[in-house]
Structure 1
Amino acid sequence: MPEAPPKNIFLLAGQSNMSGRGGVKRDKTGYLAWDGVVPPECEPDPSISRLDANLTWELAKEPLHEGIDAKRINGVGPGMPFAHEILKLKPDYGTIGLVPCALAGSSIDRWQRGTALYDRLMLRANVSVQGGGKIQALLWQQGGSDSESIGDAIAYQPKLSKFFSDVREDLKSPDLIILQIAIAPGKKRFTSLVRSAQFTVEDPNIRTVDTEGMPVEWDHVHLTTQGQIQLGKILASRFLDPPSNQTFNLQGVTFFSPNFSPANSFILT
Structure 2
Amino acid sequence: MKPPRQTLRLLLAAVASAAILSFLLLAPPDGLSPLSFLSSSPYAHRPKLLFLLAGQSNMAGRGAVVHPLPPPYRSHRRVFRLAASRGWVPAAPPLHADIDTHKTCGLGPAMPFAHRVLAAVPSPDSGGGGGGNDTPVVLGLIPCAVGGTRISMWAKGQPLYEFAVARTLAAVADGGGNLGAVLWFQGESDTIEIDDAQSYGAKMERLVADLRADLELPNLLVIQVGLASGEGNYTDIVREAQKNIVLPNVLLVDAMGLPLRDDQLHLSTEAQIRLGNMLAEAYLNFNSSRGPKL
Indicate the TM-score class for this superposition, using the shorter chain for normalisation. 0.7 to 0.9
* More moved, 65-74 vs 197-206: 197-206
For residues 217-267 of structure 1, give each alpha carbon's deviation from its aligned partner in whole angstroms, at most 9, with x where no partner exists: 1111111111101000010010011379xxxxxxxxxxxxxxxxxxxxxxx
Contact 2:81 2:140 in 1 (8 A): yes
Structure 2: which amino acid aligns with 1:48? V
* 1:180 aligned counterpart, secondary structure: strand
Aligned to 1:179: 223
Question: 1:185 touches 1:192 (CA, 8 Å); kept in 2?
Answer: no
2:145 to 102, 107, 128: 102
Partner of 2:72: 41
Of 32, 52, 59, which aligns to 1:11? 52
Which moves more between the two structures, 81-90 or 1-10?
A: 1-10
CA deviation digits over 1:131-176, x for unaligned, max 9? 1411110000000111111111111111111001100110000111
Distance 1:109 1:226 in 2: 30
Q: Supply the distance in 2 between the matched residues of 1:187 and 1:116 (Cα, whole angstroms).
A: 23
1:51 paired with 2:94, answer: no
Give the structure with the larger strand fraction: 1
Partner Cα separation in structure 1 for residue 68 and residue 244 of structure 2: 37
Once the 2 structures are TM-superposed, how far is the Cα of residue 185 of structure 1 from its aligned partner?
Answer: 4.6
Contact 1:49 1:96 in 2 (8 A): yes
Q: Deviations over 1:70-127 (max 9, x none)?
A: 1110111001000000011122460000000000000011100001000100110001
Q: For 2:222 and 2:182, locate their aligned partners in 1 and report how far apart those are by CA, in whole Å.
A: 5
**Of 172, 181, 184, the match for 1:129:** 172
Partner of 2:116: 85
Contact 2:189 2:231 in 1 (8 A): no
Residues 49 and 57 in structure 1, CA contact (< 8 A), matched pair in contact too? yes
CA contact (8 A) 1:38 1:62 kept: no
Task: Structure 2 unaligned segments of length 5 or more: list them.
Answer: 1-39, 123-129, 131-135, 289-294
Task: Tell me, in whole angstroms, the C-alpha distance in 2 between the residues paired with 1:168 and 1:157.
Answer: 17
Asked whether the equivalents of residues 140 and 179 of structure 1 are also in contact (C-alpha less than 8 Å), the reply is yes
SS of the counterpart of 1:110? Answer: helix
* Match runs of 1:183-262 below 5 Å: 183-186=227-230, 188-242=232-286
Question: Alignment partner of 2:286: what SS?
Answer: coil
Instruction: Establish whether residue 66 from structure 1 lines up as the match of residue 59 from structure 2.
Output: no
Whether the aligned pair in 1 keeps the contact of 2:192 and 2:231 (CA below 8 Å) is no
Asked if residue 117 in structure 1 is aligned to residue 148 in structure 2, the reply is: no
Evaluate the alpha carbon distance shift between residue 42 and residue 6 of structure 1 in structure 2; reply closer, same or farther with a 3 A threshold.
farther
Letter in 1 for 2:87: T
Distance in structure 2 (CA, Å) of the matches to 1:185 and 1:11:
22
- Structure 1 letter corresponding to 2:83: D
Cα distance in 2, alignment partners of residues 199 and 22 from structure 1: 25
Amino acid aligned to 1:139: L
Aligned-residue RMSD, C-alpha: 1.7
> How far apart, CA to CA, are the structure 2 residues paired with 1:195 and 1:37?
35
Give the AA of the match of 2:48. K
Q: Which runs of 5 or more residues in structure 1 are unaligned?
A: 24-33, 245-269
User: Across the two proteins, how many residue pairs are aligned to each other?
Assistant: 234
Q: Give the structure with the larger helix fraction.
A: 2
Aligned identity (percent) is: 41
CA distance in 1, matches of 2:270, 2:71: 11
1:20 match: 61
The answer (yes or no) to whether the contact 2:231–2:265 under 8 Å persists in 1 is no
